[in-house]
Structure 1
Amino acid sequence: MTVESTAARKPRRSAGTKRTSAGSTPDTAGAGPELVQLLTPEGKRVKNADYDKYVADVTPDELRGLYRDMVLTRRFDAEATSLQRQGELGLWASLLGQEAAQIGSGRALRDDDYVFPTYREHGVAWCRGVDPTNLLGMFRGVNNGGWDPNSNNFHLYTIVLGSQTLHATGYAMGVSKDGADSAVLAYFGDGASSQGDVNESFVFSAVYNAPVVFFCQNNQWAISEPIEKQTRVPLYQRARGFGFPGVRVDGNDVLACLAVTRAALERARHGEGPTLVEAFTYRMAAHTTSDDPTRYRRDAEREEWEAKDPILRLRAYLENEGHADAAFFEELETESEALGKHVREVVRAMPVPEHMAIFDNVYADGHALVDEERAQFAAYQASFTGGEAE
């Protein structure tokens, strides 16, 4: 497997309904001036009067670093998917196709900024220096997170949709009260944009001028619900109704994501309040490993987005500009394989989760319903071995 592969089989031909809503397909959404783009899918540099200044200082070495980040993040993600299929993880939420959105925004942060992720921000965790193997303990069921949030200013993963945006807003309000000039970055998806928590966080952040950037990775599908079931207008335009700016960026363009996020974070640090960034991208894999996307989306849609692959896009630019040679890509391939081997070894050395532990520490004292559920689950487990329920 090469480091640039999509690391997933192409789905079977689906009989799903063709999507026709304006702004919901790759062609219509990327055609208008509302989309900030600095690199075309062919790897050509596009000038932008508003955002060029935010990446003017990016050196060839830093561009290679962005490419390395995306390649290694994809490799880690592919390894985690394989480990789940082998029974080593209970579940995995892949970021395949969203590397540019996560690496671009993640590298825009300062060390003193604080991040509130969902459960898919593996690339952002990488940028914040979180050991990627620490992400896997939760998905194996052996810990509740695996890292100290304050060590990297990267909060624990949040499974409850949208709740992290309220946490981020409250934290940002505190930052402003403390007189600090740091900013807060909150991630969520297009599906979570329909949650009340997200809209409430918009209200509070606007009224209190909180230094927070809301980064929505619009990957087109909230599990099996397409984006047109979430909104009748582009998501970034919602910010206007709450009294702060919104911008849509090409989520497969790492340079544009870096520039737009830097601009939004700068606004926040200068006391100009929140910004909503909509990274228009695509979820190449399943929602999680328990999902089957072939049941609800078309092969042709994925194929259109494969042509916009964020890693291939930056590689084309690096090669066109002479910023990377064959030796660089070969060394990165070797590093990628070593990372995959390391991840496999660490996960397989983790303890096997104790199934009954899920019922511990639910309440400080005993609870009749939990006791009943524990007994039922113990009987269910015993049915596979012929033993007695604990």
Structure 2
Amino acid sequence: MNISIWLTRTRRDGGNFVKKIICNNPTFCSYYQSPNSSTSLVHSHLSSSIMRSKDCGFVGKGNFRFLYSSSSFNSSYVVSVGGRRYKATKAGEQLLFEDDNGNNTFEESKGEEFPGGKIFFTSEMNFLPGSSEKRVQCYRVLDENGYHVSSTTMEHVSKEVGLKVYSGMVSLQTMDKYFYEAQRQGRLSFYLTSFGEEAVSLASAAALTSHDLILSQYREPGILLWRGFTVQEFADQCFGNNAGHGKGRQMPVHYGSKNLNFMTISSPLATQLPQAVGVAYSLKMEKKDACVVAYFGDGTTSEGDFHAAMNFAAVMDAPVVFICRNNGWAISTPVTDQFRSDGIVVKGPAYGIQSIRVDGNDALAIYSAVRKARKMAIDEQRPILIEAMTYRVGHHSTSDDSTKYRSIDEIEYWKTMHSPITRLRKWIERKGWWGEKDESELHSDLNNQVKTAIEKAEKALKPQLKYLFRDVYEDLPTNLIEQEKLLRETVERHPQDFPIDVPL
């Protein structure tokens, strides 16, 4: 049975209106008149139709309330209000009223089952704000001086984990220092540091297991350090020698390790994000007790692949943890020129992803948040977004001079006042786990390790020319066979144009 409610305005006694119920077999009963108004109520003989005004259908002078309930009908009904028709798939109820100004509004509504879920109606025209003046808060465990802030959600950090995270951060800082200098000396073609962002990679790595798959950008070598990638392996990759896992076919700092579940890094921004969702969905299908963790910077969120990956992950309920290092700069572009929203964290809920903002210079906060996010991703089979607020103290890469677009004072402020390494050191010292002697021995050992690794990598043999074409196909296709032949012929004709340390 289709039923329509038609609202007809009258101008008698203050502009009240008459409501008519029309169905395909209408039978109308008597009219009721309010002692305080000239409004007429039209009643139909429907078993569950109800009319109320407080008890009789009226709320004050000039305000009329009408409630229609159709629970006895299984068929859909249509309500027409002010010329609009609202169709629902289930019987429900609409509570309407007219105020003294003659405005018809919904006071309550059970909503309508649109594709995607039920939506409730309002007569108020409200545009959602583009952004809130109040920014999303940032989860923190340690302040700048290494003291605990009040927190009931911190994960326990053992002495072993705390010291390993700290030594890993110092190792990464030392390695960056020497490799950067080697590039400036012309011994490396390219390098990229993680100065100021060491806590994001090391502390998050500590919160994961070796079974979790990593798809990172190029400021997460700390994850590899945590998982056992040696300083020598870093050096071999950067120098492109025969011992490096890429055999010289990839740019420096584009690490990878199949054994450590660390996918080889790609240069283009955001390409790893949709891939990470696909890998996570495969873990879901195989019911693995693991998740995927995808790392990226704030500049990556300006790429379309970021948005595609977020939506892909949310719709497919993929167990993937997105970790964004919001370090303030996408090369020379500040975050204020990248987006109007409150950073990255607010983008998660727009796609239906639970999200959190964390102090990226607080190793304990990163550890606690990532550990919790991993558990949620696996137990609930859903994606999680973490925005780690930090600062890129170093230049974007050896191809960049950041003093051209930001002040030295700004860099120095973040380097000295918000160092994640200094903050964690104060905490482990206060716990009695670390002292000056330990610090001196660590730096001495690391300096020797990195220097030795660079010297050894620099002297190692370069990969043979044939490896330029190998390790992609099991059986070399004819086009690559032809290319290799042409290249060898060219080298023979112009030997002076090719490096002498590359074996043919």
Both proteins in one fold, TM over 0.5: yes
Who is 1:176 aligned against? 284
Q: Over residues 53-83 of structure 1, what are the superposed CA-to-partner deviations in whole Å (9 max), with x where a residue is unaligned?
A: xx2x312332222211111111111121122
Q: Over residues 281-312 of structure 1, what are the superposed CA-to-partner deviations in whole Å (9 max), with x where a residue is unaligned?
A: 11111111111111111122212212100111
Q: Larger C-alpha radius of gyration, 1 or 2?
A: 2
- Give the letter for the 2:382 counterpart: G
Map 1:209-248 onto structure 2 (within 5 A).
209-233=317-341, 234-248=343-357
Residue pair 1:91, 1:140 contacting (<8 A) in 2 also: no
Q: Which structure carries more helix by proportion?
A: 1
Cα displacement (A) at 1:345: 2.3
Establish whether residue 293 from structure 1 lines up as the match of residue 415 from structure 2: no
Map 1:198-277 onto structure 2 (within 5 A).
198-233=306-341, 234-277=343-386
Distance 2:389 2:217 in 1: 17
Distance change >3 Å, CA 380–CA 312, structure 1 → 2? farther
Distance change >3 Å, CA 374–CA 289, structure 1 → 2? farther
- Give the letter for the 2:377 counterpart: A
Distance 2:363 2:213 in 1: 20
Percent of residue pairs identical: 31
**5+ long unaligned stretches in structure 1:** 1-28, 386-390
Distance 2:223 2:337 in 1: 28
Cα displacement (A) at 1:133: 3.0
Residue pair 2:321, 2:373 contacting (<8 A) in 1 also: yes
- Give the letter for the 1:165 counterpart: L
Query: Matched residue of 1:198: which SS?
Result: helix
Distance 1:250 1:145 in 2: 34
Query: Matched residue of 1:181: which SS?
Result: coil
Distance 1:119 1:135 in 2: 13
Distance 1:168 1:105 in 2: 17
Larger relative contact order (Cα-Cα within 8 Å, sequence gap ≥ 6): 1
Distance 2:136 2:340 in 1: 19
Distance 1:229 1:102 in 2: 26
Who is 2:144 aligned against? 41
Q: Over residues 209-250 of structure 1, what are the superposed CA-to-partner deviations in whole Å (9 max), with x where a residue is unaligned?
A: 000000111111111111112221211110011101111111
Cα displacement (A) at 1:349: 2.2
Cα displacement (A) at 1:145: 3.3
Distance change >3 Å, CA 111–CA 352, structure 1 → 2? closer
Map 1:302-381 onto structure 2 (within 5 A).
302-306=411-415, 307-351=417-461, 364-366=477-479
Residue pair 2:245, 2:256 contacting (<8 A) in 1 also: no
Distance change >3 Å, CA 90–CA 380, structure 1 → 2? farther
Residue pair 2:213, 2:293 contacting (<8 A) in 1 also: yes
Residue pair 1:88, 1:347 contacting (<8 A) in 2 also: no
1:186 to 294, 303, 306: 294
Distance 2:192 2:446 in 1: 20
Scaled by the length of structure 2, the TM-score of the pair is 0.63
Distance change >3 Å, CA 32–CA 244, structure 1 → 2? closer
Scaled by the length of structure 1, the TM-score of the pair is 0.81
C-alpha root-mean-square deviation of aligned residues, in Å? 3.1
Distance 1:308 1:242 in 2: 32
Distance change >3 Å, CA 360–CA 378, structure 1 → 2? farther
Establish whether residue 157 from structure 1 lines up as the match of residue 265 from structure 2: yes
- Give the letter for the 2:383 counterpart: P
Q: Which structure carries more strand by proportion?
A: 2
Instruction: Count how many residue pairs are aligned between Structure 1 and Structure 2.
Output: 351
Cα displacement (A) at 1:196: 1.1
Distance change >3 Å, CA 353–CA 227, structure 1 → 2? farther
**5+ long unaligned stretches in structure 2:** 1-132, 248-254, 500-504
Once structures 1 and 2 are overlaid, which stretch shifts more, 296-305 or 340-349?
Answer: 340-349
Distance 2:350 2:492 in 1: 51
Once structures 1 and 2 are overlaid, which stretch shifts more, 169-178 or 141-150?
Answer: 141-150
